[in-house]
């Protein structure tokens, strides 16, 4: 098995902590190591370091090499979402056609590492075949904790459930992109639906065949992969699409996708509320956070905190305050006053890392 880690996305729901020059995967949000470094750490007992690859916008190649000197970087000329990133890895990395490729995001959090590693080992065996499929596309699903509109959903066929290699597995009926609030409530009420973690396992030839069937990406990227100039020109003509939209939705309709359930303490740390919940030293139960657009008036209550930039430095402002406005995005953390120390430590970590870049 080899791993392809996708380190893209600016983390706009975590502004001003993240930024175009300081994207979310490279930030030390939950300790001294970045989310990307923690992702690699979790693979240590499953995949050899020389078999781990990071696909990222070439602007961030230097950051990846600094944080992970032993890991090979697959640079994209420009980010074009996950389908193009996976296609580039498929043609750029010479591996045996029947070897299992693990694809996972760089910026998620897993609290139960041992269980996660067991899931990956079992999932790798699933990619060899099950449910009368010789070479399925395997996706990992998370049991929903509520009717969230922040995640895509997986809809399994519960009538054909099985337990294999220590995992509960199902043929997948459909993928759904991030739903409306009404649809999210409906999906949450349906038995067996799962959040889409964006983690996949498949043989190299399986994803190659799927990309060829459902997209033209290999036709565009393949001939250009050996030339930086040609690859840059090729990426200019690629429409950004997620692998879910480009491949997995169609493959699920064609009954070629299998879902394995996973309960490993997963979070995508996708917004300030999720970050507050996972933050070391977190005390402010029920705290929530959101990004406030430039120019919008902000009122801070007694227990609220504002994260903003002052003179080029991240800083905290504690409530109460009225009528605050900013020319740049700020984060309003409602009810987070009890997390002042943890938030201060977070800003110190991020500022110290920025000084080293």
Question: pLDDT tens digits, residue range 129-143?
Answer: 988 888 999 999 999
For the record, the structure tokens of 184 come out as 């999210």
Distance CA 102, CA 324 (A): 46
Mean pLDDT of 230-246: 96
Residues pairing with 321 in the sheet: 300
Q: How many helices (H) and strands (E) does the chain have?
A: 12, 18
At residue 19, the pLDDT reads 86
The pLDDT value recorded for residue 357 is 67
Instruction: Give the whole-angstrom CA distance, residue 34 versus residue 352.
Output: 12
| Spatial separation of the C-alpha atoms in residues 347 and 16, rounded to whole Å | 11
With the CA atoms of 155, 161, 163 and 165 taken in that order, what torsion angle do they form, in degrees rounded to the nearest 10?
A: -50
Give residue 25's pLDDT. 96
User: Can you name the residues that pair with 81 across neighbouring β-strands?
Assistant: none
What pLDDT score does 259 carry? 97
> Residue 87 contacts by C-beta under 8 Å, 6 or more apart in sequence?
211, 215, 217, 218, 221
CB-based contact 64:37 (threshold 8 Å): no
Strands (E), the chain: 2-7, 52-57, 72-76, 100-105, 109-110, 137-142, 153-156, 162-164, 167-176, 194-203, 257-262, 266-267, 288-292, 298-300, 305-310, 313-318, 321-324, 330-334
pLDDT reported for residue 213: 98
Percent of the chain's residues with pLDDT above 90 = 89
Q: pTM for the complete prediction?
A: 0.95
Residue 288 has pLDDT above 70, yes or no: yes
List, in sequence order, every residue forming a beta bridge with 103; answer none if it has no partner. Answer: 4, 200
| Band of residue 99 on the pLDDT scale cut at 50, 70, 90 | very high
Identify the band that residue 233 occupies on the pLDDT scale cut at 50, 70 and 90: very high
Q: Is it the case that residue 356 has pLDDT exceeding 80?
A: no
CB 24 within 8 A of CB 106: no
Q: Which two tokens stand for residue 231?
A: 């690859």
pLDDT at 294: 93
Do 318 and 280 contact (CB within 8 A), yes or no? no
Cα separation of 272 and 63, whole Å? Answer: 23
Q: Which helix (H) or strand (E) holds 205?
A: helix 204-214
213-230 pLDDT, tens digit per residue, is 999 999 999 999 989 999
Which residue in 82, 95, 38 sits closest to 278, CA to CA? 38
Query: What angle in degrees, to the nearest 10, is found between the helix axes of 204-214 and 81-92?
Result: 130
Count of other CB atoms within 10 angstroms of residue 34: 26
pLDDT band at 79 (very low <50, low <70, confident <90, very high): very high
What DSSP character marks residue 192?
T
pLDDT computed for residue 306 by the predictor? 97
pLDDT for 312: 81
82-96 residue pLDDT tens: 999 999 999 999 999
Res 208: pLDDT: 98
pLDDT in tens, 170-222: 999 999 988 999 999 999 999 999 999 999 999 999 999 999 999 999 999 99
Cα R_g (the chain), whole angstroms: 21
pLDDT-based confidence at residue 344 (cuts at 50, 70, 90): very high
All structural domains of the chain: 2-267 (3.90.550.10), 272-356 (no CATH)
Number of C-alpha atoms within 13 angstroms, CB side, residue 90?
29
Residue 16: per-residue pLDDT = 94
- Residue-wise pLDDT for 299-333, tens only, equals 999 999 999 998 888 999 999 998 898 999 999 99
Token pair for residue 223?
Answer: 């001939």
CA 195 to chain centre: 12
Q: Which residues contact 294 (CB under 8 A, 6 or more apart)?
A: 326, 327, 328, 329
Question: What band does 353 get if pLDDT is binned at 50, 70 and 90?
Answer: confident
């Amino acid at each position: 098995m080899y791993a392809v880690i996708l380190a893209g996305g600016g983390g706009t729901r975590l502004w001003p902590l993240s930024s175009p020059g300081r994207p979310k995967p490279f930030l030390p949000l939950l300790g001294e190591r970045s989310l990307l470094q923690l992702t690699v750490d979790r693979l240590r007992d499953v995949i050899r370091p020389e078999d781990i690859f990071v696909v990222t916008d070439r602007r961030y190649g230097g950051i990846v090499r600094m944080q992970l000197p032993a890991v090979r970087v697959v640079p994209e000329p420009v980010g074009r979402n996950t389908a193009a990133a996976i296609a580039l890895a498929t043609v750029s990395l010479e591996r045996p056609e029947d070897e299992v490729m693990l694809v996972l995001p760089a910026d998620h959090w897993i609290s139960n590492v041992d269980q996660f590693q067991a899931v990956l080992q079992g999932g790798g065996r699933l990619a060899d075949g099950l449910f009368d499929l010789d070479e399925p596309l395997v996706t990992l699903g998370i049991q929903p904790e509520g009717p969230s509109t922040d995640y895509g959903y997986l809809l399994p066929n519960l009538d054909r459930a099985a337990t294999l290699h220590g995992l509960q597995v199902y043929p997948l009926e459909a993928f759904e992109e991030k739903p409306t609030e009404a649809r999210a409530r409906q999906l949450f009420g349906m038995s067996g639906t799962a959040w889409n973690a964006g983690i996949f396992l498949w043989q190299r030839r399986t994803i190659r065949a799927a990309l060829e069937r459902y997209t033209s990406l290999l036709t565009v990227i393949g001939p250009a992969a050996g030339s930086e100039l040609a690859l840059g020109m090729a990426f200019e003509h690629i429409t950004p699409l997620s692998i879910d939209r480009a491949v997995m939705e169609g493959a699920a309709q064609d009954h070629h996708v299998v879902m394995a359930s996973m309960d490993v303490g997963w979070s995508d740390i996708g917004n300030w509320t999720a970050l507050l919940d996972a933050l070391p030293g977190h005390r402010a139960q029920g705290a929530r956070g959101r990004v406030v657009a430039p120019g919008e008036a902000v009122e801070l209550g007694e227990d609220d905190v504002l994260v903003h930039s002052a003179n080029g430095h991240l800083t905290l402002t504690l409530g109460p305050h009225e009528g605050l406005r900013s020319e740049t995005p700020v984060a309003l953390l409602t009810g987070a006053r009890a997390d002042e120390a943890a938030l201060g430590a977070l800003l110190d970590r991020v500022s110290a890392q920025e000084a080293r870049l």
